[in-house]
Amino acid sequence: MSAELTTIIDFIRYGASRFGRAGLTFGHSYDNALDEATQLVLHALHLQHDIGPAYGQARLVEEEKQAILALFQRRIDERIPACYLTGEAWFAGLSFKSDPRALVPRSPIAELILSGFEPWLGGRSVERALDLCTGSGCIAIATAHYHPHWQVDGVDISDAALALAAENVERLDARNVRLLKSDLFAGLQGEVYDLIVSNPPYVTDDETDALPQEYAHEPELGLRAGPDGLDLVLKMLRDAPVHLSDNGLMICEVGESERHLVRLLPELPLAWVEFKVGQMGVFVVERSDLVAHAASIKVLADARR
């Protein structure tokens, strides 16, 4: 069979067709079969992701064909996300190491980072920023990369995630990033930030149980967040004011749990970010509004585990 496939393009097309037939899910950095097949083919061939289209017609030797087919087979049989097979994920234009110690970077917050968090910052000056629940470190490191004068803390409760984040700090030479282990804000006494950004766990228990097999390769600690997905987010809203400067801003992703949050706190002014592809459950909130609604937030947050 591999004799019928000769070029790079042949293998990308063939992989995408097999992925489609196998009913794979594409929710990890790439959202379609062709892009995943392309990544796996280029990885097996040790080629850069940005090689020119002319190389699509390059013919492969048998050893290369077998390496590609073996990767396709693992993607199909074991449902491993492509980024875990290649060990690399792109986020905000930067290449991160990616492996099962932390979620595959894919937050829409990348788009906000690339827009300099505008128009939300609106001229606020930022000296210190926090990426709470940093995982692979992608949000902290990308933020620090595009704002070399900011000091950025990346915080996570998982030693494994922090180890991967440390490797990414080194990989991207992110000298203005500090990594800290903490259960949300518990270990951040006295730390004050102008901007808090977070992509925390926010998947409901029912949704976590029903996720496609690909997600089982990711740490559940990064996904599961209680019956309505808000166990961590409510605590973050409760505790953030102490760690935000007077004019500070918090940006947080809650995905599909947006509807639960709006139902629980209808009075809290949350601005929902419009991304190029539409709304994706990311809100922006001012410290002053968190303070004004502190009593109702506290009642809800205190009731969580």
Ligand X SMILES: C[S@@+](CC[C@H](N)C(=O)[O-])C[C@H]1O[C@@H](n2cnc3c(N)ncnc32)[C@H](O)[C@@H]1O
Shortest distance, CB of residue 45 to ligand X, whole angstroms? 27
143 contributes a contact to ligand X by CB under 6 A: no
Contacts of 208 (CB under 8 A, 6+ apart): 220, 223, 224
Shortest distance, CB of residue 218 to ligand X, whole angstroms? 8
Shortest distance, CB of residue 103 to ligand X, whole angstroms? 4
211 contributes a contact to ligand X by CB under 6 A: no
Nearest CA to 85 out of 72, 102, 101 is that of: 72
Residues 66 and 155: their CA atoms lie apart, in Å, by 41
Residues 226 and 305: their CA atoms lie apart, in Å, by 9
Please tell me the chain's helix, strand, coil percentages from 3-state DSSP, rounded to the nearest 5.
45, 20, 35
Shortest distance, CB of residue 248 to ligand X, whole angstroms? 19
On the question of a cis peptide bond just before residue 105, with omega within 30 degrees of 0, the verdict is no
Question: Tokens representing 145?
Answer: 């990369």
Residue 278: count of CB within 10 angstroms of its CB: 7
Residues 260 and 134: their CA atoms lie apart, in Å, by 23
Shortest distance, CB of residue 249 to ligand X, whole angstroms? 17
Question: Tokens representing 129?
Answer: 């920023």
Listed ranges 58-66, 116-124, 168-176, 199-207: which one lies at the site for ligand X (CB under 6 A): 199-207
Over the Cα atoms of the chain, what is R_g?
21
Shortest distance, CB of residue 257 to ligand X, whole angstroms? 12
113 contributes a contact to ligand X by CB under 6 A: no
Residues in binding contact with ligand X, number by CB under 6 A: 23
Nearest CA to 94 out of 180, 196, 171, 199 is that of: 171
Question: Tokens representing 19?
Answer: 């992925």
Shortest distance, CB of residue 232 to ligand X, whole angstroms? 6
* Bridge partners of residue 196, in order along the sequence: 130, 250
Closer by beta carbon to ligand X, 56 or else 100: 100
Among 38, 39, 134, 257, binds ligand X (CB under 6 A): 134
Residues 185 and 42: their CA atoms lie apart, in Å, by 41
Listed ranges 134-142, 171-179, 238-246, 261-269: which one lies at the site for ligand X (CB under 6 A): 134-142
Interaction mask 224-253, ligand X, x per CB under 6 A: --------x---------------------
199 contributes a contact to ligand X by CB under 6 A: yes
CB half-sphere exposure, 226, CA atoms < 13 A:
17
172 contributes a contact to ligand X by CB under 6 A: no
Residues 163 and 137: their CA atoms lie apart, in Å, by 10
Closer by beta carbon to ligand X, 221 or else 262: 221
Closer by beta carbon to ligand X, 8 or else 103: 103
Listed ranges 4-12, 33-41, 45-53, 195-203: which one lies at the site for ligand X (CB under 6 A): 195-203
Listed ranges 17-25, 28-36, 101-109, 277-285: which one lies at the site for ligand X (CB under 6 A): 101-109
Among 24, 40, 60, 139, binds ligand X (CB under 6 A): 139
Interface ranges with ligand X (CB under 6 A): 102-103, 105, 107, 133-136, 138-139, 155-158, 161, 183-184, 199-201, 221-222, 232
